[in-house]
Amino acid sequence: MTTKLTCSTLLLFLITSTIAYSQDGVMDGVEIHGNFEVYAQTYNEDSIIGAPNVPEKSGVNAFGNFIATKGSFTAGVRIEAYMPPVQGFSNNYGLQPVGAPYRFAQFSKGKFDITVGNFYEQFGNGMILRAYEERALGLDNAFDGLRVKVNPIPGLYIKGLVGNQRFYWQKSTGYVRAIDGEIAINELVESLMDKKLRLTIGGSFVSKYEASGIRNFEYPENVASWAGRGQINYGGFSFLGEYVYKFNDPNSDNHYIYRAGQGVLLSATYSQKGFGINLTAKSIDNMHFRANRDAQLNDLFINYLPALTRQHTYNLATTLYPYATQPAGEIGIQGDIIYKIKKGSALGGKYGTTIQVNVAIINSLDTQQITSPNDLDSEVYLPNDPSREGYKANLWTFGDKIYYRDYNIEIDRKFSKSFKLKTSYIYFVANTDVAQGTALGKNVHAHIGVLDGLYKVSKKHSIRTELQHMWIEQDQGNWAFAMVEYGYSPHWFVTVLNQYNYGNPTKALRVNYPTAQVAYINNANRISLAYGRQRAGIFCVGGVCRPVPAANGFTITITSSF
């Protein structure tokens, strides 16, 4: 069935394109565009780093988007191939080597926008609903259904959708029905159009239907949730808040309890030329919200809960002890300051200096267990038994368990026309038992120092070096990292790097992870070839993570836009 559908989609697309080409006039004004990506790895067995013998010796993930636009109409298809999936991506992708899991047709004119087929969507901050793709994570929870966006009067924006969600090559059994409204007061009320005070308010309602099936308990087949949000801006000041509530939704993440879920996000910002500050607070309780109540890992989330930590970029800071959001419950605050010391001042130097400071504090939520998860799992209780509530929690109180601490500072200074240096210090306290499911029984304390120097040799030639070091007494001990990147604008990059776990308590595991890479860029096309060892670790985007297995071999990446 799926095969047939895929083929028909492809055929239809091809025929449409061909006809369109052969007939003058029909194709006038039609724009065909898209993009393309191939990510391939080869695998050598490397027992010391834990890279297994992969029988197929290689993995390839590829996709191509082809989109045709004419006036108000857009239609598109994405063809994906997994032959087989690159190690670390779900094997579910390998269940079908090639297919077209994403296709849509859209009509958008003036105040109307209608999409049938697949689409991505976000309401507010996404805490109630967000369908998105993060290719590097292998994550795609696109809706398949219908979406209508209307802008009936200035300042009023309404979105409604119905659909089920992508589950690799299948669909969720649960359906999602959702509506969102947003009012921009300054657009709605004409006399406020040019006022400095800007106000927007919004609200969402999301409902999921999933048949109960044969179970020990009676599950709510319809689960509703709602959210309200607002944002005020005045000059350099900005305040925003969003609250989300989800009615009881017994699922595999919460041991099938009948407890409701809720979440709150508050953010305050002030900025002016050369200075910016942002403070954010977040609290989440029992907010796993998925289209299938038995879904696991990163699968089939209807909502998205942003992580409240800085998204780091340096290798040792990103892949060893990253933070992942805990939808079951967490509370935290984050502060972020950026300050640019003026050019020509004593501290700022001739070219100016930028300082960024970031602090994140995340703890467990303050909860009192009513019933132990083990008892809940044994399913000895009746559904209307109050013990099936699971636990009690206070959304506004910090629990005593540290989940994460991140204190970091970055100083970026240009010393001369040709030399720039970025210096960073990062201190993590990570509860890896919670974030990564380890069993260390204690928190990891990691200190990271980074020197990132950029030397512009001439107009087109540059050399960038990164020296990183991690001081840590737990887990795998100290790490050192060095990288040299030669850039030849606008076409070439040559990079050599090495990571060395010289402080590993086990002598035999004091391993080097060298990698060499060449990349060629021509306009919107990029090809890169790397060879080396890939350390087992965690790869995260936006607080969502996937484990990356150890690997030894070639990696080829091709990306292209047209």
Partner 1 sequence: MLSKPNLQLILLFINPTHMFKSIITSTLLIFLSFIAVCQNEGRSIPDVTVKQLDNSSFQTGDITNDGNPIIISFWATWCSPCKRELNAIAEDFDEWVEETGVKLVAISIDDARNMHKVKPYVDGQSWDYDVYVDPNADFKRAMNVNNVPHTFLIDGNGHIVWQHNSYAPGDEDELHELVEKLANGETID
Residues 404-433, interacting with partner 1 (CB under 8 A): none
Could you give the string, one character per residue 368-407, with x where binding to partner 1 holds by CB under 8 A and - elsewhere? ----------------------------------------
- Rule CB under 8 A: say whether 25 interacts with partner 1: no
> 10 Å Cβ neighbour count for 348?
17
Closest among 24, 43, 42, 86 to 61, alpha carbons compared: 86
Pick from 59, 126, 322, 327 the residue near partner 1 by CB under 8 A: 126
CB 428 within 8 A of CB 321: yes
Q: For residues 374 and 450, what is the distance between their CA atoms, to the nearest angstrom?
A: 45
Of 73, 112, 425, 562, which one interacts with partner 1 (CB under 8 A)?
A: 562
The interface mask with partner 1, positions 56-95, x = CB under 8 A, is: --------xxxx-x---------x-x-x------------
Positive or negative: CA dihedral 541, 437, 244, 301: positive
Among 26, 31, 296, 442, interactor with partner 1 by CB under 8 A: 31
Among 42, 108, 478, 498, binds partner 1 (CB under 8 A): 108
- Spell out the residues 6+ positions from residue 294 whose beta carbon is closer than 8 angstroms to its own: 251, 252
Task: Please report, for residues 120, 335, 343, 469, the alpha-carbon distance to residue 409 in angstroms, rounded to integers and kept in the order given.
Answer: 35, 12, 20, 15
- Chain residues 538-557 in contact with partner 1, contact rule CB under 8 A: 542-543
CA atoms of 293 and 315, how far apart (whole Å): 35
CA 176 to chain centre: 21
Which region among 171-179, 211-219, 515-523, 546-554 touches partner 1 (by CB under 8 A)?
Answer: 515-523
Examine residue 34 and tell whether it contacts partner 1 (CB under 8 A): yes
Residues 186 to 215 in contact with partner 1, rule: CB under 8 A:
186-187, 198, 200
Residue 469 or residue 526: which is nearer to partner 1 going by CB? 526
Contact window for partner 1 (CB under 8 A) among 179-187, 255-263, 367-375, 502-510: 179-187
CA dist., res. 66 & res. 75, Å (int): 8
Separation between Cα atoms, residue 48 and residue 445, nearest integer Å:
25
Nearer to partner 1, 54 or 142 (CB): 142
Q: Is 517 in the site for partner 1 (CB under 8 A)?
A: no
Q: Could you give the angle at the alpha carbon of 323 between the alpha carbons of 139 and 312, nearest 5°?
A: 90
User: To the nearest whole angstrom, how small is the minimum distance from the Cβ of residue 490 to partner 1?
Assistant: 5
* DSSP per-residue codes, 413-439: EE-SSSEEEEEEEEEEEE-HHHHT---
Of 140-148, 375-383, 467-475, 487-495, which part binds partner 1 (CB under 8 A)?
A: 487-495
Task: Name the token pair of 110.
Answer: 């003036």
Q: What phi and psi values does residue 477 have, to the nearest 5 degrees?
A: 75, -165
Site membership for partner 1, residue 481 (CB under 8 A): no
Q: Tell me whether residue 110 is exposed, middle or buried, using C-beta atoms within 10 angstroms of its C-beta: 0 to 12, 13 to 18, 19 or more.
A: exposed
3-class state of residue 190 by DSSP? helix
Q: Is 559 in the site for partner 1 (CB under 8 A)?
A: yes
Of 234, 287, 235, residue with least CA distance to 265: 287
Cα gap 377→218, rounded to integer Å: 15
Query: Given the rule CB under 8 A, which of 374-382, 384-392, 393-401, 488-496 is the region that contacts partner 1?
Result: 488-496
What is the smallest separation between the CB atom of 523 and partner 1, expressed in angstroms? 6
Please tell me whether residue 519 binds partner 1 under the rule CB under 8 A. yes
Q: Which stretch binds partner 1 (CB under 8 A): 8-16, 399-407, 427-435, 508-516?
A: 8-16
Nearer to partner 1, 200 or 286 (CB): 200
Give the footprint of partner 1 on residues 323-362 (CB under 8 A): 336-340, 354, 356
Rounded Cα distance between 540 and 310, Å, is: 12
Closer to partner 1 by Cβ: residue 97 or 549: 97
Q: How far is the CB of 531 from partner 1 (least distance, A)?
A: 20
Rounded to a whole number of angstroms, the minimum distance from the CB of residue 176 to partner 1 is 16
Q: Which amino acid is at 452?
A: D
Structural contact between residues 480 and 469, judged by C-beta atoms closer than 8 angstroms: yes
Q: Is position 490 an interface residue for partner 1 (rule: CB under 8 A)?
A: yes
Separation CA 80–CA 93 (nearest Å)? 9
For partner 1, the binding residue among 23, 91, 222, 311 (CB under 8 A) is 311
How many residues bind partner 1 (CB under 8 A)? The answer is 101
Q: Which stretch binds partner 1 (CB under 8 A): 256-264, 365-373, 378-386, 481-489?
A: 481-489
**Residue with Cβ nearer partner 1 (415 or 502):** 415
Q: Which of 157, 168, 219, 243 binds partner 1 (CB under 8 A)?
A: 157
Residue of 42, 207, 238, 298 interacting with partner 1 (CB under 8 A): 238
Could you tell me which stretch among 255-263, 284-292, 302-310, 360-368 binds partner 1 (CB under 8 A)? 302-310
Residue type, 243: Y
Enclosing H/E stretch for 3? helix 2-22
Nearest-angstrom CA–CA distance, 526 and 561:
9
